Amino acid sequence: MKREPSCVGVDGAKSGWIAVWWADTTLTHCVYGSARSLVDAHRTARVIAVDIPIGLPDRGGRRADAEARQFVGGRRASSVFPSPVRGILDATSQPEASRRHKEIDGRGFGSQSFAILSKIREWDDLLQCDHQARAMVREIHPEVSFSALNGGRRNGLAFKKKSQDGAAMRTWLLSSVFGSEQIARVVQSVARRQAATDDVLDALVALWSAERVAAGEAVSLPAPPVSDATGLATAIWY
C-alpha cells in the first residue's frame, strides 16, 4: 500500500501516549504526556488513529463495541471492553464508577474498564473543545485491526498480546505491511520504561489503520458511523 503522509498511530502507554509515524522513509516514535500535547505536535496530520473509545452513550452499550467483538471473534473478543456511559466520566474510584454506572444503565463497571477511564476522559475533554482534532482523530481497536490484517472477520489472534507467541504473530503481520527491519528498529528504539512492546505494536497497527482512513480504504464498525449526543462520531475503524 502506498505510504500516506502525516498519519499517526497512537496507543496508551506507561508514561502517557506512544505515537508512531513515518518521517520520510523511516518509522519514528515519540511518547507524549497528554492527548493535548500529542495533537498539538501533529496539527498537520491528516489522520491520528488512537486506541481509545470516542463517542459515548448516555445509556446502553455502543454498537461499535458489539460489532468489534463479533468481528474479532473467539477468545480475543473479550479484549474489547465495554465503554462507559458519559454520566460516569468524572468518577474518582472504581466502586463509585460501578455504582453510578449501574444506576444509569443497569450494568456495573469493572476494574479493567475503570483503569482507562481517565484516559477516555482526557480524549473526550480534548475533542469536545477542539474541532480541528475532531476532524482528524479516529478511534481504532488494535485487536480489530490485527484481525483485519490476519484475514478479516472472526480472524482474531489466538495468543494474548503480552505473550511471546502473541508478540511474534503481531510482529509478523506488521512486517508484511511496514517491513521487518522497520518494525524491529522502532520496537528496539522505545525504552521499556516509556512503553511496553505490546504498546508499540498496537501503535503500529493504529498507524496502519490511519493510513487506510487517509487513503479512503478503511471500514468502520458500525458502517456508517453513528454520533453520540455531543456530536462525536462513534465508530471503530480498520
Q: Which of 32, 27, 26 is nearest to 12 (CA)?
A: 32
The parent domain of residue 14 ranges over 7-81+116-237
Q: Which of 226, 225, 228, 227 is nearest to 237 (CA)?
A: 225
Q: Is the pLDDT of residue 199 over 80?
A: yes
Decide if 93 is inside a domain: no
Decide if 86 is inside a domain: no
Task: Give the C-alpha separation, 149 to 230, whole Å.
Answer: 32
Decide if 99 is inside a domain: no
**What stretch of H or E contains 104?**
helix 94-105
Model pLDDT for residues 20-34, shown as the tens digit of each residue: 999 999 999 999 999
Decide if 2 is inside a domain: no
Q: Is the pLDDT of residue 5 over 80?
A: no
Task: Give the C-alpha separation, 166 to 11, whole Å.
Answer: 17
Q: Give the three-class secondary structure for 4.
A: coil
Distances (CA, A) of 204 to 62, 94, 98, 170: 25, 30, 33, 10
Task: Give the C-alpha separation, 175 to 192, whole Å.
Answer: 21
Model pLDDT for residues 73-126, shown as the tens digit of each residue: 988 899 999 999 999 999 999 999 999 999 999 999 999 999 999 999 999 999
Provide the percentage of residues in the chain whose pLDDT is more than 70. 98
Number of domains in the chain: 1
Model pLDDT for residues 135-148, shown as the tens digit of each residue: 999 999 999 999 99
Q: What is the DSSP string of 61-94?
A: --HHHHHHHHHH-GGGGGGSPPPPPGGGTT--SH
Decide if 160 is inside a domain: yes
CATH number of the domain where residue 46 is located: 3.30.420
Decide if 91 is inside a domain: no
Decide if 144 is inside a domain: yes
Question: What does the pLDDT average to over 210-223?
Answer: 98
pTM: 0.95
Average pLDDT, the chain: 95
Q: What is the DSSP string of 11-36?
A: EEETTEEEEEEEETTEEEEEEESSHH
Strand order in the sheet with 47-50: 26-32, 16-23, 7-13, 47-50, 137-139, 233-237, 220-227
Decide if 70 is inside a domain: yes
Query: Residues with Cβ < 8 Å from 39, sequence gap 6 or more?
Result: 48, 126, 130, 133, 137
